[in-house]
Amino acid sequence: MNHTTSKVILFSFTDYPRLVSNLEAQGVKTSQDDLLRHGSFTFDLQGVSRAASHQIVRHRIASFSQQSQRYVKITRSYGYLKPSGIPEDLKVPVEIHGQKMELNFADVMDLTRQAEEGLVAKGIKAEDSRYLRPNAATTNIVMSMSPRQLIHFFNLRCAPDAQWEIRDLAWSMYATVSLVAPQVFGPLPAADESDYVKKRVEIVGDLVRKQAGSFEKTASGELFHLEVSPYLDLLHPVESFVRKY
């Protein structure tokens, strides 16, 4: 069992220069609104907590595939994400059957893992044993969205009042799409109303400009590691990648 680093991998994206030139070759002119309407971006979000994945799937105009808890072996899948606001060594008193103990976050994660594995070992189905799994347990989720919906997602989830884990993911996702489709993902509309968003949009613009040359040199099919930290002060470790065509 491990304390997880989340990963944002942009696996597939619309190649706008090619789309626009192919359409133009057929005599079809494309407006900015057309660009927002046509296109798809597919992310593999790895090592995100169930607390965050519950929020992500509330976005209805998207397609999702989430790792099954029924069939994936616990020992392979059971990571967890500890909020940075909870110190590693902070212990809380608990009492069970008259026995008092002091447990930290990792201890509780370990207990729930042992209990879930214990149920499976006693022949309980994985689909029932998983009811012991806490919100911090991590999962992997594949999400596809159109650019218009992604901008809506970023406006809500990059905002300062968004929950920290989904906000870290949203900014990392925004950075990857800004790299591959700057024609569509310019400054977010939310930047007009929020200095926090405006400042961060500028930071993303800078980090993308700095790394665009290295991305261009990345071999086709390779994953390019886009350095988002430490430029953006994310609250938990997130690594961002883009698969080069």
Ligand X SMILES: Cc1cc2nc3c(=O)[nH]c(=O)nc-3n(C[C@H](O)[C@H](O)[C@H](O)COP(=O)(O)OP(=O)(O)OC[C@H]3O[C@@H](n4cnc5c(N)ncnc54)[C@H](O)[C@@H]3O)c2cc1C
- Contact predicate 74/113, CB 8 Å: yes
Does the footprint of ligand X cover residue 61 (CB under 6 A)?
Answer: yes
The DSSP letter of residue 215 is: H
Query: How many Å apart are CA 148 and CA 70, to the nearest integer?
Result: 33
For residue 111, give Cα distances in angstroms to 46, 94, 104, 114, 133: 23, 13, 11, 5, 10
CB of 148 to ligand X, least distance (A): 9
The one segment of 36-44, 58-66, 135-143, 177-185 that binds ligand X by CB under 6 A: 58-66
Nearer Cβ to ligand X (145/207): 145
Nearer Cβ to ligand X (161/195): 161
Hey, which residues between 122 and 161 contact ligand X (CB under 6 A)? 149, 152, 156-157, 161
> Can you count the helices (H) and strands (E) in the chain?
9, 10
Does the footprint of ligand X cover residue 217 (CB under 6 A)?
Answer: no
Query: How many Å apart are CA 133 and CA 120, to the nearest integer?
Result: 13
Nearer Cβ to ligand X (144/149): 149
CA nearest neighbour of 190 among 219, 225, 222, 158: 158
Would you call 108 exposed, middle or buried from its count of C-beta atoms within 10 A (0-12, 13-18, 19+)? Answer: middle
Q: Angle at the Cα of 200 (from 159 to 242), degrees rounded to 5?
A: 95
Does the footprint of ligand X cover residue 59 (CB under 6 A)?
Answer: yes
CB of 170 to ligand X, least distance (A): 10
CA nearest neighbour of 140 among 234, 236, 12, 53: 53
Does the footprint of ligand X cover residue 173 (CB under 6 A)?
Answer: no
CB of 166 to ligand X, least distance (A): 8
Binding-site size for ligand X (CB under 6 A) equals 10
SS3 13: strand
Q: Which residue of the chain is nearest ligand X when measured via CB?
A: 60
- Contact predicate 153/188, CB 8 Å: no
CB of 227 to ligand X, least distance (A): 27
Nearer Cβ to ligand X (14/149): 149
The one segment of 57-65, 66-74, 219-227, 229-237 that binds ligand X by CB under 6 A: 57-65
Query: 243 an active-site residue?
Result: no
Catalytic residue among 50, 130, 133, 157: 157
Nearer Cβ to ligand X (45/242): 45
- Which two structure tokens, joined as six digits, stand for 40? 């798809």
CB of 55 to ligand X, least distance (A): 7
Q: Phi and psi for 3 in degrees, rounded to 5?
A: -85, 120
Enzyme catalytic residues: 157
The footprint of ligand X (CB under 6 A) covers: 58-61, 149, 152, 156-157, 161-162
